[in-house]
Structure 1
Amino acid sequence: MGAGHYHLENINSDATGKYEIWRNNLLKKASLASTLTIHASAYRSVISTAIQKGWISEHTPIAQMKRTGAKGRARPAFTREEVNRLLDYLPIFAKGEHSRLAKESRQVCRDYVEILLGTGMRSGIESQHIKWSDISLHIDSVTAVKYLRIGVTGKAGGRYLIAKHNIKTVLERVIAKYSQLNAYSLDRVLELKPNLYLFSLGDDMLPVSFCTTFKHLMTASGLLKGSATGQNRTLYSLRHTFAILELMENRTDLHTLAKQMGTSVGMIERHYSKLTAVMAADRLA
């Protein structure tokens, strides 16, 4: 760390101040209150462990870290109308570009966007590294309805999430592009559980990131700026949109939504408290 190394008992307000300057320079912005709270909690845990181990006394004066910072802004989501516009435009976007690699990147980005919208999973490592062996087909014992289950590893460890029924069409489209799989039906591929990446370029090569291609998609579709916030939409906007639509259109309960998204009920309530209040009002009325 730019501020140097300290024994706990020697940490004072000057040392924490230097750390805050170093952190802001690293992040290239002033930290939000949520970030400061996480850092302060981790710092407090270190101090508590040191006290439990007897390395320092509970009466040792140690400077605390600030928890007050800028309030986070609402992240841009898509409205239902904008989701429909995006889904209509994706086939057009996927046909663009002249080079093989650029065209494949657009095609895979289309699959990626539709699956994020249909599951609520996080963009990045949680979703990019999914393999066909992580996807399984199940039948509800009561309704006999078939549904797709996808295993992912996220911030809170491994979990299973349920995909919307239209994701079946996406998977069938991916199979048709995959030379090792296109002779089989979706059901057969899921039975075989091949150790191949779902989102791949060419011979099972993982894209480094979808961020650049997604930004091109947003610009080309005219959906880059969030209508409510004025901020540029990112891949996270798809997850944010999934949560909003589940709450407002499907009336999904908070516990189920939190389990699907790999987060806590408290986090859902914190970010979507206005929506949950509307839901409660609808039910109560």
Structure 2
Amino acid sequence: MSAKLETTHIVTENELVVYRRERSSIWQCRYKVDGVWQRASTKERKLKDAKEVAKAIKIRAEIRKHDNLPVITRKFRDVAKLAVQRMEQKLANGDGKVSYKDYIRIINEYLIPILGNRLITNIDSTALDHLDAERIRMMERTPSNSTMLSQNAALNLVFDEAVLRNFLTDLNRPKLEAKGKKSTRHPAFTLTEIQAVINNFEAWIERARNAHSKEMRQIMRDYSEMLIDTGARPGKELMNLKWKQIKFTMNPKQIHTGEKSVLDDGTEEEIVLTDLNRGVELIVTGKTGTREIVGRQPTVKVLERIARRVYGVRNNIIDPFKDVVTPNNDDFVLRTKEKKQDVSPAFQHMFERYLDEHNLLYDPKTEQNRVFYSFRHTYATLALTHDKVPIHTLAKQMGTSVLMIERHYSHLKVIEATEQLRGQETRRRIASTSTVEEIYQSAQAKKKAELLARKTAPKKTTAKKSVKAK
């Protein structure tokens, strides 16, 4: 071990050292906090004064460590962990944004691994360029513009924490830009294709190989039809819905048909029909927090179907969820009957196979395969074109911004209407047929039918040709 120079003095063994660099008259100090050596300048020229300042620096560092604050280094990693702690605390207290979970994931998976060892004050344009390049390498693709907005939001929360703790000032805070790939709309379904999706479910469910498979298909059907009817975000918005978060509504209205019927006395009377106008209000929680959304008659029918299957309930039409929708029923709606399992992780693969079997997977317009989000895009398209729902109303229902609606659906001609979110025209068109066009019929079922036809077809007999003697 090399001898210590006269310019190096131990203040506390294995804890605190003061030293002078070559060609410098200022004493520096090296001190250990939580097993890690740190460095700082005492800014003193006299050894006696430098030792006292070094002791004070170490004490302040120990206090900061005890208070869960970064020690003097202020590395990006330390500040980022504080930002994560703040978000986790808010989530635990119930006043945090749902998006905090995404930001925490982004900080832990991308920002700390890439920027962690840099000082928070050294996050300059070069560092941000390095972040962009490493992020693309880790993702193995160029992130979309919406992904970059989320990434920047997470990074800004780290900078917010640094400013709050006086590690940065607003003047030297980096300015971020979203330089991602332009987002593309999800492929949608046409009205005819949506009819095919819905009308093919029953036979597909019956073709299940066993009881468990059949139940999974039933739940996926329920989930899909609710997505089509509500425009909810695929995922936890509906999968985490509980019965106690549902409110049944009914607003009967008369429909004047304009047609006449002849009474026994020979007088005519207009035929007036009554629409019970049944619906539900659902409290869902997702990316943008908790909100209330509207489900129409199709969603009511789905919930009635689930109540019969799971609880054996068959109530009358004006009170369909009696003893099921109660303040004490903490059951999730979309779960298996016996084990109350969430089988949604298997849905994407099941959904792809279902669409592929019925020639509905590939969207020729966007040249993409359809996904569950395609239902949400279809809901918005039909609401704007057929039902003429105002953009502000649609944005509230879908839990998004008016700007986002305008950005993705500006190609549609939108005319405001008074019947907001009733969706009568779309519902009427979807329910107008229960038949499926041949192109969307199950390829598997057609193949089985062809094989059966060959087996049952009568065998053809061929007459032997007579040979004439020459």
**TM-score (structure 1 length as normaliser):** 0.87
Pair 1:101-2:212 in alignment: yes
The equivalent of 1:196 in structure 2 is 331
Distance 1:199 1:41, change over 3 A: closer
Which segment is superposed worse, 158-167 or 250-259? 158-167
- Aligned partner of residue 87 in structure 1, secondary structure: helix
The equivalent of 2:144 in structure 1 is 32
Distance 1:101 1:191, change over 3 A: closer
From 109, 114, 134, the equivalent of 1:22 is 134
CA contact (8 A) 1:147 1:163 kept: yes
Count residues with an aligned counterpart: 277
1:166 & 1:208 partners in 2: Cα distance? 21
1:24 & 1:250 partners in 2: Cα distance? 41
CA contact (8 A) 1:3 1:19 kept: yes
Shift in Å, 1:188: 1.0
**What does 1:83-232 align with in structure 2 at a 5 Å threshold?**
83-140=194-251, 145-178=277-310, 181-185=311-315, 186-192=320-326, 194-203=329-338, 204-209=340-345, 210-232=347-369
Structure possessing the higher radius of gyration over alpha carbons: 2
Shift in Å, 1:48: 5.0
Shift in Å, 1:118: 0.7
Runs in 1 of length 4+ with deviation above 6 angstroms? 141-144
For the aligned residues, what is the CA RMSD?
Answer: 2.5
The equivalent of 2:393 in structure 1 is 256
**CA offsets 1:126-148 (integer angstroms, 9 cap, x no match):** 11111221211124499984421
Distance 1:15 1:272, change over 3 A: same
2:144 & 2:212 partners in 1: Cα distance? 38
Provide structure 2 residue ranges, at least 5 long, that are not aligned to the other structure.
Answer: 1-111, 255-275, 417-470
Shift in Å, 1:170: 1.4
**CA offsets 1:220-264 (integer angstroms, 9 cap, x no match):** 121101131110101111111111110001000011111111111
Shift in Å, 1:175: 1.8
1:47 & 1:196 partners in 2: Cα distance? 41
CA contact (8 A) 2:246 2:325 kept: no
Could you tell me which amino acid in structure 2 is paired with residue 54 of structure 1? N
Bigger proportion of residues as helix: 1
1:15 & 1:78 partners in 2: Cα distance? 43
CA contact (8 A) 2:121 2:167 kept: no
Pair 1:47-2:183 in alignment: no
**TM-score (structure 2 length as normaliser):** 0.54
Shift in Å, 1:184: 4.2
CA contact (8 A) 1:130 1:152 kept: yes
**CA offsets 1:148-199 (integer angstroms, 9 cap, x no match):** 1111112222111111212222122212211xx2144223144445322211
CA contact (8 A) 1:3 1:15 kept: no
Bigger proportion of residues as strand: 2
- Relative contact order, CA 8 A, sep 6+: which one is greater? 1
Q: Taking every aligned residue pair, what percent have the same amino acid on both sides?
A: 29
**CA offsets 1:64-110 (integer angstroms, 9 cap, x no match):** 54522321222101011111111111112221221222221111111
